[in-house]
Amino acid sequence: MDRHPVPPERRRRFEAVIRVIDLIVYFAVLGGGVYALIGTPVTVLGELQGAVWLVFLWSGLLCVGGGVGFIGRLTRYWMLEMPATVLAFAGILIYLVVLGRYAFTSISAAVAALLILVAMGMIARRWAELQIFASDPDRHDFRSRMAEVLRRRTANFPHRHR
What is the pTM (predicted TM-score) of this model? 0.77
Q: What letter represents residue 37's amino acid?
A: L
- Number of independent structural domains in the chain: 1
Report the pLDDT averaged over residues 91-105: 82
Q: Does the pLDDT at position 15 exceed 70? A: yes
Alpha-carbon dihedral sign for residues 158, 21, 128, 139: positive
Task: Tell me, yes or no, whether 161 lies in a domain.
Answer: no
Write down the pLDDT at residue 146.
Answer: 66
CA distance 45 to 14: 42
CA distance 68 to 108: 30
Task: Tell me, yes or no, whether 103 lies in a domain.
Answer: yes
Task: Tell me, yes or no, whether 162 lies in a domain.
Answer: no
Q: Does the pLDDT at position 138 exceed 70? A: no
User: Poorest-confidence range of 6-10, 25-29, 71-75?
Assistant: 6-10
DSSP letters for 45-99? HHHHTT-THHHHHHHHHHHHHHHHHHHHHHHT-HHHHHHHHHHHHHHHHHHHHHH
Task: Tell me, yes or no, whether 158 lies in a domain.
Answer: no
CA distance 45 to 20: 34
* Mean pLDDT score across all residues of the chain: 83
Task: Tell me, yes or no, whether 96 lies in a domain.
Answer: yes
Question: Is the distance from CB of 6 to CB of 14 less than 8 angstroms?
Answer: yes
Tell me which residue range forms the domain holding 127. 8-151
Write down the pLDDT at residue 60.
Answer: 95
- The one-character DSSP state at 134 is H
CA angle 33, 34, 37 (to 5 degrees): 85
State what percent of residues in the chain have pLDDT above 90: 36
Task: Tell me, yes or no, whether 97 lies in a domain.
Answer: yes
Question: Is the distance from CB of 19 to CB of 76 less than 8 angstroms?
Answer: no
- The one-character DSSP state at 136 is -
Closest to 47 measured CA to CA, from 111, 113, 100: 100
Task: Tell me, yes or no, whether 54 lies in a domain.
Answer: yes
Task: Tell me, yes or no, whether 26 lies in a domain.
Answer: yes
